[in-house]
């Protein structure tokens, strides 16, 4: 997981190296850099999660969660953004935008203190981010359309909600039923296929992370708080969408 940002940066370098020198500068003027809105969606692949802590008596509480890695099994990402270019030249352009996104990650496996449990549930993240991106110049592709590449990142806040239930040894319902708002950041690489002056199709790969959320583990039958756990959340998403320039 720690090598993900480095791998994404390597993809950024390779994408930039693939662009012919000086390609597409005329199209940038023709198409006109302008404010835009985007909508997007795709698969969200949450990384396995470890939550650790102890109860009031000092007994360890370790929860391990594996998430489903398929769009058709409830793990997805949807969102939208509004932004504009603010610098433009033969070298490409810089772009700033505000983004709102929603991630849903369904559980695939669950264990408590090393023992597998009969479980159900999911985790969701609603995030608002301010992004900054670099767009390469456009270059010609098929039938007069244009293509460019982009790379960037963003910072903001994300609200994670846990909705996880399982049955304990005494048949009580236990679970993680909590939410918290944390610092969030992401990095991404993508491409934009301009099919007309105002419309384009784009796709990207984005790595997203929340800064160390905490979550309460409760006995849901009695309502008693058992422990507060230090948790984590990060994901790699593959998305595509539509961009409209005004």
Alpha-carbon distance of 88 to 111, in angstroms, equals 52
- pLDDT level of residue 22 (50, 70, 90 thresholds): very low
Per-residue pLDDT, 1: 44
Which segment of 9-18, 92-101, 166-175, 182-191 scores lowest on mean pLDDT?
Answer: 9-18
Task: Give the dihedral sign, CA 210/54/62/70.
Answer: negative
Q: Which has the higher per-residue pLDDT, 173 or 231?
A: 231
- Domains present along the chain, CATH in parentheses: 4-245 (2.40.160)
Q: What are the tens digits of pLDDT across the range 207-225? A: 999 998 999 999 988 889 9
Which segment of 53-62, 122-131, 169-178 scores lowest on mean pLDDT?
Answer: 169-178
The pTM of the full predicted model, rounded to 2 decimals, is: 0.83
Q: How far is CA 122 from CA 40, 43, 67, 199, 218, in A?
A: 22, 15, 8, 35, 16
- pLDDT level of residue 68 (50, 70, 90 thresholds): confident
């Amino acid at each position: 997981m720690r090598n993900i940002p480095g791998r994404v940066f390597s993809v950024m370098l390779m994408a930039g190296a693939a662009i012919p020198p000086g390609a597409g500068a005329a199209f940038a003027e023709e198409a006109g850099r302008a404010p835009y809105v985007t909508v997007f969606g795709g698969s969200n692949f949450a990384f396995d999660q470890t939550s650790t802590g102890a109860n009031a008596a000092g007994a360890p509480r370790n929860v391990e969660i594996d998430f489903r890695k398929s769009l058709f099994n409830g793990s997805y990402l949807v969102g939208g953004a509004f932004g504009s270019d603010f610098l433009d030249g033969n070298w490409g352009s810089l772009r700033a935008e505000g983004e709102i996104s929603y991630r849903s990650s369904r559980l695939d496996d669950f264990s408590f203190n090393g023992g597998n449990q009969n479980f159900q549930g999911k985790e969701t993240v609603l995030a608002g981010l301010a992004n900054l991106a670099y767009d390469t110049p456009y270059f010609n592709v098929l039938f007069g359309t244009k293509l460019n590449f982009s790379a960037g990142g963003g910072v903001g806040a994300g609200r994670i909600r846990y909705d996880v239930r399982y049955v304990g040894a005494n048949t009580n319902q236990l679970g993680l039923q909590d939410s918290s708002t944390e610092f969030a950041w992401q990095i991404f690489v993508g491409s934009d296929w301009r099919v007309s002056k105002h419309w384009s199709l784009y796709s990207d790969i984005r790595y997203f992370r929340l800064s160390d959320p905490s979550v309460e583990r409760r006995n849901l039958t009695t309502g008693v708080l058992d422990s507060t756990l230090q948790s984590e959340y990060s994901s790699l998403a593959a998305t595509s969408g539509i961009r409209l320039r005004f």
